Chain A
């Protein structure tokens, strides 16, 4: 049973560039959340997608945007990259309608380095 799959695993980008990160949720899950984890910090909530719509957004600028597809997979897009965007980006999925009540399943993350 495949868990949450994220791609790519590592990425190096230059300041000002744009990046797209991808996430395939665990089979049977329909809700996808994205978190940013800076080095030495806990994850910070970016946003959550459910039924192809952004259901909730954390305190992140509009440079961070997302999308959810009909097959429940999701993309995180970051425009005009800053050095401070360097972090591990985690995708988490959960089962229908339960949000996090039964615990999210996390992917291994995408390590983004902005130089």
Chain B
């Protein structure tokens, strides 16, 4: 079955500290992978995506993610968090090739990031 697991419901990090949010997926084919961020009362904003090629991808707001096929993981990282990074982060996967006209994204349950001053 296709699924996305974000093991951490909440993560608390001090401002200026590094961050890593975990994402593991189960997918039958080579997936496309995404990280989105959702601030309170807001929609979802795309942080970064991985389709192919270099397994370390850079996104907006200083975020990066690394695709590890052997571990079925796509963890999100940031070297130094800012108070404005407090939000909920969602990992999502979709089919790399829509052979079966599958256009939907499968989402994790999200990780809420709390920043300590």
Interface residues of A (CB under 8 A from B): 4, 33, 40-45, 48, 55-56, 58, 90, 92, 99-109
Contact = CB atoms under 8 A, between A and B. Distances in A.
Given A41-B110, A45-B104, A100-B32, 18 more contacts: A4-B43, A33-B103, A33-B104, A40-B110, A42-B92, A42-B109, A43-B105, A45-B105, A48-B104, A56-B104, A90-B43, A90-B44, A100-B34, A100-B103, A104-B46, A106-B44, A107-B43, A108-B41
B90 interface: yes
Contacts of B107: 42-44
Q: Nearest 9 CB-CB pairs, A to B?
A: A42-B107, A106-B43, A45-B104, A103-B46, A106-B44, A108-B43, A99-B103, A42-B109, A43-B107
Nearest to A58: B104
B102 A42 contact: no
Interface centre among B32, B42, B43 (most CB of A within 10 A): B43
B102 A56 contact: yes
Contacts of A103: 34, 46, 49
Contacts, number: 61
Contacts of B105: 43, 45, 100, 104
Contacts of A92: 44
Contact of B51 (A58, A101, A107): A101
Interface string B95-110: 0001001111111111
Interface centre among A55, A90, A106 (most CB of B within 10 A): A106
